[in-house]
Amino acid sequence: MDKEKNWKNFKITLPHRKPPYSKRNWGNGLHSLCSYQGKMKPSLVHHLINVFSNKNQLVLDPFAGSGTTMFEASLQNRNSLGFDISKIAVAISHAKINNYNSKNILKILNEAQNYIDKSKISEKTLKDSKDVKFNKTLKEYYHPKTFKEILSLRDFFIKNFDIKSADWCLVFSCMLHILHGNRPYALSRRSHPLTPYAPTGEFQYKNVIDKLKRKIDLSLSHKTDLKITSGKCFIQDILKKWNIKSSSVDLILTSPPFAFSTKFYINNWIRYWFGGWGIENFDKESFNYLEKKQKKNFNVYDNIFKESARVLKKNSYMVLHLGLSDKLDMGKILLPIAEKYLKVSDLFNETVEHCEKHGIRDKGGTKEHQYLVLKS
């Protein structure tokens, strides 16, 4: 069916709002590999991929995040490509869109245990763990023995982590996920899986490798017998020239950082710290993130649309999923910038009122979505 018609049909039926897609946990369990700020709903991505692309085509997400677009594309026989400025995002995405070697994973875990048993914690990790504190100190999140093991593993990953290996990416992503949360899997005292809110409750020793193994086993179980088209995700700043061939992409489906998102630091600090950031990285590198840049000026999107137009094949779509808020209409702001390089096909607000008009009374899930649909 032609894509215009598909899209019209999507707007009327809103299939992601109907069972089974409306279920909170719809989709492959690996989507929950690691909690991630601004993660798109897999069911929504699933349908948008269907609407705007065909099998074997190449789908790109230039704000890869936790790899939702790429993973859904891979699951639906599309080739997936993505990038993100964050090592954490690339690791999580890479782990979702590639197959593993379980022997290699076991080897990494054994080496990690050995490292905890034998190595001394580096001066750098000791310093960073005191300096980096945005919402209570790190020490306040963990039992002292658990904390020592975490510090040791931070060194282990800084020294050995190979972002090109899906096995390493899986182990690293699982470790990131269990760093904080409010359920028994978490290494921290009671906190929150997304934002490390100030911890409460008892200091309880949790064996890090045991918890990590459990999370890895669970993640591996989601990939058993799963057929995916392998994809590629790499580190790249979206504001620089993209390392992607011109006229090679069939669909860009992405969701940029929401303009009204809460403070970048507070959301990510423990995972960024574990990934190797010291206080100096928070001070300097965070300025390269759109979350911060767009607060000053939306013109940073000029290069994004220019590069999108370059890499897209002729007559192909770019679909941006944007957050809708009372404070700011991101679609309206981005539209005139996008228009310089691409044709504007639609700006659609899927509001609660819109759903009710079509008889959909889904109270759960995202309240309001906005879609900017562009064509090359």
Residues engaged in binding ligand SAM (CB under 6 A): 36, 38-40, 63, 65-66, 68, 84-86, 89, 237-239, 255-257, 288-291
CA atoms within 13 A on the CB side of 299: 2
What angle is formed at CA 67 by the lines to CA 177 and CA 172, rounded to 5 degrees? 35
Rank residues 151 and 311 by Cβ distance to ligand SAM and give the closer one.
311
Cα separation, 220 vs 233, in Å, equals 20
Minimal distance, residue 83 CB to ligand SAM, in Å:
6
Q: Which residues contact 56 (CB under 8 A, 6 or more apart)?
A: 77, 78, 79
**Dmax (CA) of the chain:** 64
Rank residues 290 and 309 by Cβ distance to ligand SAM and give the closer one.
290
Residues in the chain: 376
Minimal distance, residue 241 CB to ligand SAM, in Å:
12
> Taking the CB of residue 139, how many other CB atoms lie within 10 A of it?
12
In the numeric block, which tokens belong to residue 302?
């000029």
Residue nearest to ligand SAM (CB): 65
Minimal distance, residue 320 CB to ligand SAM, in Å:
10
Nearest to 176 by CA among 196, 190, 162, 206: 196
Burial class from Cβ neighbours inside 10 Å (0-12, 13-18, 19+) for residue 82 reads buried
Q: What is the DSSP letter of 276?
A: T
In the numeric block, which tokens belong to residue 220?
């591996």
Minimal distance, residue 283 CB to ligand SAM, in Å:
16
Minimal distance, residue 144 CB to ligand SAM, in Å:
32
> Taking the CB of residue 22, how many other CB atoms lie within 10 A of it?
18
Minimal distance, residue 52 CB to ligand SAM, in Å:
15
Rank residues 104 and 261 by Cβ distance to ligand SAM and give the closer one.
261
Minimal distance, residue 239 CB to ligand SAM, in Å:
5
Cα separation, 158 vs 204, in Å, equals 26
Minimal distance, residue 253 CB to ligand SAM, in Å:
9
CA atoms 152, 263, 43, 250: torsion sign:
negative
